[in-house]
Structure 1
């Protein structure tokens, strides 16, 4: 009876831990959340809502990766060279180079700890200049991305704006961007947890599960 009880306990723990692990690994895409906040801010200021372009979002993630985790390089005029879009960013995302449209603005922020979308918005819109970029009437579409570095901080958020036609600019070959993890980008309806540290570590859950099962069967 004792063995049966312990095995029943192990089964219950298994279900609980797998449920928690699933919750930890199936977060909504924070880049999509940021785009929603950006559009809400624009419409509140009587500006038009922008189309969320997955190709531009993927390029925003590539834009982040060009900084190679160097948070101190963010700001000023330090940014990837223009040729990177054709030579690196577009091919890495599977975006057709002929569909690249003009960028009309960018917002970039970085800090050592993970900021959720609402906090990231405050970081990105930190002064009148960045607010002017957000509310510009030149934009028609937007792409956002977030990622950490080497499984942790620093964490980068990037927003790119364009005046391209949403249905024909930054077109992805085959309709699906190339795998660009680690990181999240907007517009692709992808649940994303690889860019951030979840509150519950999957490996901790697995370790706890193995310990619980081993303990149960030891009796």
Structure 2
């Protein structure tokens, strides 16, 4: 009868919504979690300073000029993850290329006293990037706890808004009030990617989130089609 058909249709709709809810809920939570932090580069600096203080080392000043230079440093790899472990930009690039793009006056650049660099295809939270990607051996720990550091800048960037993801931490000496002087007193905005110290909302996982929402949309279409909605 028509009533039986309506009843079966309503049951199919209920099953469809139940399946939709069970499948989509964890994905929505993942997307929300990926967007819950404003700047992963700032979070990474917080993790670094926390580890330094627990090791009786001084807290480092989060310098936006150095953070921007760290982001430009990552761009020099042109998305080639394999080059991270075998190559590095020339030291002259700091004054000739990276500093001008960030609005940092090259004569005020102090020595770079250390660098931590890593890359992988999957985006991970900053704390995990620190422990799993950047700190790889005893040499990494020596760089982290070096007493010559006074300032730090961190950056994270995807490639074309997605994988692979690059992480960089640069350390320097010098006093914050007379190093990394900025043209006009403000660091330039550099995209894509995030860098620390610039009070800027930024999501390095933007490409990941975009892909996740595309996946969610596809699942929704399949579920609605199969449930007859």
When normalised by structure 2's length, the TM-score is 0.75
Supply the distance in 2 between the matched residues of 1:179 and 1:64 (Cα, whole angstroms).
Answer: 15
The equivalent of 1:191 in structure 2 is 201
The equivalent of 1:49 in structure 2 is 59
Unaligned 5+ segments in structure 1 are 1-20, 209-219
Supply the distance in 1 between the matched residues of 2:178 and 2:102 (Cα, whole angstroms).
Answer: 16
Supply the distance in 2 between the matched residues of 1:167 and 1:105 (Cα, whole angstroms).
Answer: 20
Which whole-Å deviations, capped at 9, do the CAs of 1:115-153 have from their partners, x for residues lacking one? Answer: 210111011011100001000001000000000001211
Supply the distance in 1 between the matched residues of 2:134 and 2:145 (Cα, whole angstroms).
Answer: 13
The equivalent of 1:59 in structure 2 is 69
For the aligned residue pairs, the C-alpha RMSD in angstroms reads 2.5
User: In the TM superposition, what is the alpha-carbon distance from 1:164 to its structure 2 partner?
Assistant: 1.5
Which whole-Å deviations, capped at 9, do the CAs of 1:80-131 have from their partners, x for residues lacking one? Answer: 0111111110110000111111000000000011121011101101110000
The equivalent of 2:46 in structure 1 is 36
Supply the distance in 2 between the matched residues of 1:137 and 1:25 (Cα, whole angstroms).
Answer: 35
The equivalent of 1:145 in structure 2 is 155
The equivalent of 1:131 in structure 2 is 141
In terms of Rg, which structure is larger?
A: 2
Supply the distance in 2 between the matched residues of 1:170 and 1:131 (Cα, whole angstroms).
Answer: 25
Supply the distance in 2 between the matched residues of 1:32 and 1:48 (Cα, whole angstroms).
Answer: 17
Supply the distance in 2 between the matched residues of 1:42 and 1:65 (Cα, whole angstroms).
Answer: 27
Supply the distance in 1 between the matched residues of 2:171 and 2:204 (Cα, whole angstroms).
Answer: 24
Whether the 8 Å contact between 2:123 and 2:208 is mirrored in structure 1 is: no
* 3-state SS of paired residue (1:178): coil
Supply the distance in 1 between the matched residues of 2:122 and 2:199 (Cα, whole angstroms).
Answer: 25
- Structure number with higher helix proportion: 2
Runs of 4+ in 1 over 2 A off after TM superposition: 21-27, 194-204
